[in-house]
A and B are shown apart, each in its own frame.
Chain A
Amino acid sequence: MYFVLIYALACLSTCHCHFIEKGKNENHCGLLKQWLKSSLVSVEIVKEGFHREVVTTVELSPDVLSDVRVLLVHRWPRGVFVDPYQLASLSDQSDWQILLDSAIDLEVPAHKTVGFVTYVYPSPDGPTPRLLKVTIPIHGRYHEPSFVELLLRTEKCTQLNNKEPYTAVVAPCTPDNSSTCQWVKLQHQQERGAMGVQFPVGDGSLVRPVCGGTLLVTVLCCVALSKHMWKHRIIKQ
């Protein structure tokens, strides 16, 4: 399973832009791009086994204004899944909210499903703190790459020009998925080394001994139990 790249995105909400405001607008959008460049995103996977936690830490640049909205987009491989019910109960206790792009089948094996995307909104209702830490519990199917994108938006940056290396991306504005906004993303800002998780899998080469052994033991137990039950059967008088 191989890996995570970090993108930074900033987003603009679509609203009317007056001519007089244009200068200010460009200034805000420029600021967004600056903040994206100077923000740091790191991802760590903790815990062992089939139940892990992906800890994403975002350190926004010191001059970021508190009205900037942050969106973290995780693209997950089909080898893991998140439990929407677990996330719902977690969101009561944490300051971030999550939106899933599709319904998650909790039980299907990895090769029978596809990856999915999550949108994490830290502090959706309050001012955005400078240091954000989001812990997402994941559960294993098996492994493939996942990667993280950091997107930013602010109400004041309304029109974004799509100049390299920044791109405007459309994503839901808030966790309730009621509208979409433009967010700014920085392409290929940092490339991290391979990060992966490993899940143990069954040893396919042992199919014959396992089948043989299982059937042998079950048949022997069946015969022994049948014999004793018949020997001690109750005859009705």
Chain B
Amino acid sequence: MERLITKLTEKHVLFTASFAIRLTLVAYGDYQDRTMVVKYTDIDYHVFTDAARFITEGQSPYNRSTYRYTPLLAWLLTPNIYLSMVFGKILFIVCDVLSGLLIYRILRLRGLGSETARRVCSLWLLNPLPMGVSSRGNAESILAALVLVTLLCIEARHLIWAAIFYGLSVHMKIYPVTYALPIALTLRTFETRSEENYKRWRWRRFIGFMGSFLNRELFLFASVAGGVFFMLTALFYYMYGWEFLHETYLYHLTRRDIRHNFSPYFYMLYLTTDSRWSQWLGLLAFLPQLILLLVASWAFYSDLAFCCFLHTAIFVSFNKVCTSQYFLWYLCLLPLVIPHLSLSLKQGVGLLLLWFVGQGIWLGPAYFLEFEGYNTFLLIWLAGLLFLIINSSILIQIVAHYKPTQTSQRLKVE
């Protein structure tokens, strides 16, 4: 068994095999689409392709209803029209395998041995979930690759490249904007506190704290990332107008999906859609997310990969809308965290099973509501709350068993 794992995770074998498996899935998906009633390809892929078709005809991609992404994606997929429908899927699986390579690089930079790094990588490369998502035509792997390359560049201190990729990733999806605080905390001037300094007046410490943000590196990062983001926004606003801003950003910020989804808030938002409390409740629901993100940033900014993982997991779990696609946003960062977890294999597998059980408990009543017409709204609501409790417990276990690298020290509270 051990020899098999070693053989399988040899560098060339691993990356080649993972690409080959994904390619096979794409080919199978094409076959299933042509011959069976239930299609393999996700509806999103057809949305992207239709939007790309509008672009090739010189029109706005937003003519395609439910296209709520950056025009960049539709532009990237124009070869779907000119070359072949399968181009987009190939692009997504390449980004998927690239993400695996980036995970490997980051792990090596953080001091992991080559063999261990490859084994951890295989958790992403040979994982059926990202395989399925990319081969079905979802674009999540592009964002996973962008986030990972940003982290890699920050670890390797190539700040300008990191800023460019960061600006690009925020342009593509809003959620990486939450990483801004931990990145800022990482890049600011860090002053070692001596006894003397600690005894100073509070306001002097506060000024010192605020002042630490004014350093060259942070300024460089902020201006390049901000520049990239605003340039892209300005370009697409010029090309497609208000509709671009609304569909790509504003819709996601004000989105209230009253249809059932994993979010614990779904039923509350559905029942209060037209009530006058709806705005206040929306705002209230935003608070736990905000508080947790602030605490996570401050507690873990020195280990950026772990901090970003926590950020994304918290963001998704406490969000007003949560679908299974969002899980990939933090699953791509999980391999970076795993080598530092002091959980036993049994505990790890137990947590994983718990996560799947939580989803299963939700999916049951959801199926009966959507496809059999039973009124299971209450059960779905309770399952959503349970899923939140499960996610929080898993995150607490991860936080409690995380052993950071040697350069930082954990605060021990006895």
Chain A interface (Cβ < 8 Å from any Cβ of B): 47-51, 85, 103, 105-107, 109, 198-204, 206-207, 210-211, 213-215, 217-219, 221-222, 224-226, 228-237
Q: Distance (Å) between the CB of A232 and the closest chain B CB?
A: 5
Q: A107, A224, A234: which contacts B303 (Cβ < 8 A)?
A: A234
Query: Taking CB as reference atom, which chain A residue is nearest B368?
Result: A49
Q: Chain A interface: which of B161-169, B199-207, B223-231, B405-413?
A: B405-413
In the complex, 22 of the A-B residue pairs with CB atoms within 8 angstroms, ordered by the A residue number, are: A49-B373, A85-B43, A200-B369, A200-B375, A202-B270, A207-B275, A211-B271, A211-B272, A214-B385, A215-B268, A217-B264, A221-B388, A222-B291, A222-B318, A228-B396, A228-B399, A230-B295, A232-B399, A234-B300, A234-B409, A234-B411, A235-B411
4 smallest beta-carbon distances between A and B, as pairs:
A233-B299, A200-B375, A222-B288, A221-B392
Q: Are B268 and A224 in contact, with the CB atoms below 8 A?
A: no
Chain B interface (Cβ < 8 Å from any Cβ of A): 43, 46, 50, 65-66, 190, 192, 258, 264-265, 267-268, 270-273, 275, 281, 284-285, 288, 291-292, 295-296, 298-300, 302-303, 310, 314, 318, 368-378, 381, 385, 388-389, 392, 395-396, 399-400, 402, 404, 407-411, 413
Q: Distance (Å) between the CB of B188 and the closest chain A CB?
A: 11
Q: Distance (Å) between the CB of B134 and the closest chain A CB?
A: 22
Residues of the A chain whose Cβ atoms lie less than 8 Å from the Cβ of B43: 85
Q: Are B268 and A200 in contact, with the CB atoms below 8 A?
A: no
A200 and B377 in contact, given A211-B272, A213-B385 (Cβ under 8 angstroms)? yes
In the bound complex, how far is the Cα of B381 from the Cα of A226, in angstroms? Answer: 24
A107 and B371 in contact, given A210-B268, A224-B392 (Cβ under 8 angstroms)? no
Q: Distance (Å) between the CB of A52 and the closest chain B CB?
A: 9
Q: Distance (Å) between the CB of A49 and the closest chain B CB?
A: 4
Residues of the A chain whose Cβ atoms lie less than 8 Å from the Cβ of B413: 231
Residues of the A chain whose Cβ atoms lie less than 8 Å from the Cβ of B392: 221, 224-225
Q: Are A49 and B410 in contact, with the CB atoms below 8 A?
A: no
Q: Are A225 and B396 in contact, with the CB atoms below 8 A?
A: yes
Residues of the A chain whose Cβ atoms lie less than 8 Å from the Cβ of B298: 233
In the bound complex, how far is the Cα of B51 from the Cα of A85, in angstroms? Answer: 13
Q: Distance (Å) between the CB of B325 and the closest chain A CB?
A: 17
Q: Distance (Å) between the CB of A207 and the closest chain B CB?
A: 5
Residues of the A chain whose Cβ atoms lie less than 8 Å from the Cβ of B300: 229, 233-234
A235 and B409 in contact, given A210-B381, A218-B318, A222-B288 (Cβ under 8 angstroms)? yes
In the bound complex, how far is the Cα of B410 from the Cα of A236, in angstroms? Answer: 8
Q: Are B410 and A200 in contact, with the CB atoms below 8 A?
A: no
In the bound complex, how far is the Cα of B273 from the Cα of A107, in angstroms? Answer: 14
9 more contacts with CB within 8 A, not counting A85-B43, A210-B268, A230-B299, are A49-B370, A200-B374, A219-B288, A222-B288, A226-B295, A232-B400, A233-B298, A236-B407, A237-B408
Q: Are B369 and A49 in contact, with the CB atoms below 8 A?
A: yes
Q: Which of A105, A222, A224 has the most CB of B within 10 A?
A: A222
Q: Are B371 and A214 in contact, with the CB atoms below 8 A?
A: no
Q: Are A226 and B292 in contact, with the CB atoms below 8 A?
A: yes
Q: Which of A47, A202, A211 has the most CB of B within 10 A?
A: A202
Residues of the B chain whose Cβ atoms lie less than 8 Å from the Cβ of A107: 66
Residues of the B chain whose Cβ atoms lie less than 8 Å from the Cβ of A232: 299, 399-400, 402, 410-411
Residues of the B chain whose Cβ atoms lie less than 8 Å from the Cβ of A224: 392, 396
Q: Distance (Å) between the CB of A41 and the closest chain B CB?
A: 26
Q: Distance (Å) between the CB of A132 and the closest chain B CB?
A: 21
Query: Taking CB as reference atom, which chain A residue is nearest B376?
Result: A200
Residues of the A chain whose Cβ atoms lie less than 8 Å from the Cβ of B272: 207, 211
Residues of the A chain whose Cβ atoms lie less than 8 Å from the Cβ of B375: 200-201, 203
Residues of the A chain whose Cβ atoms lie less than 8 Å from the Cβ of B46: 85
Residues of the B chain whose Cβ atoms lie less than 8 Å from the Cβ of A221: 288, 318, 388-389, 392
Q: B265, B395, B410: which contacts A234 (Cβ < 8 A)?
A: B410
Q: Are A225 and B292 in contact, with the CB atoms below 8 A?
A: yes
Q: Are B264 and A214 in contact, with the CB atoms below 8 A?
A: yes
Q: Are B410 and A214 in contact, with the CB atoms below 8 A?
A: no
Query: Taking CB as reference atom, which chain A residue is nearest B277?
Result: A211
Q: B258, B275, B395, B404: which contacts A225 (Cβ < 8 A)?
A: B395
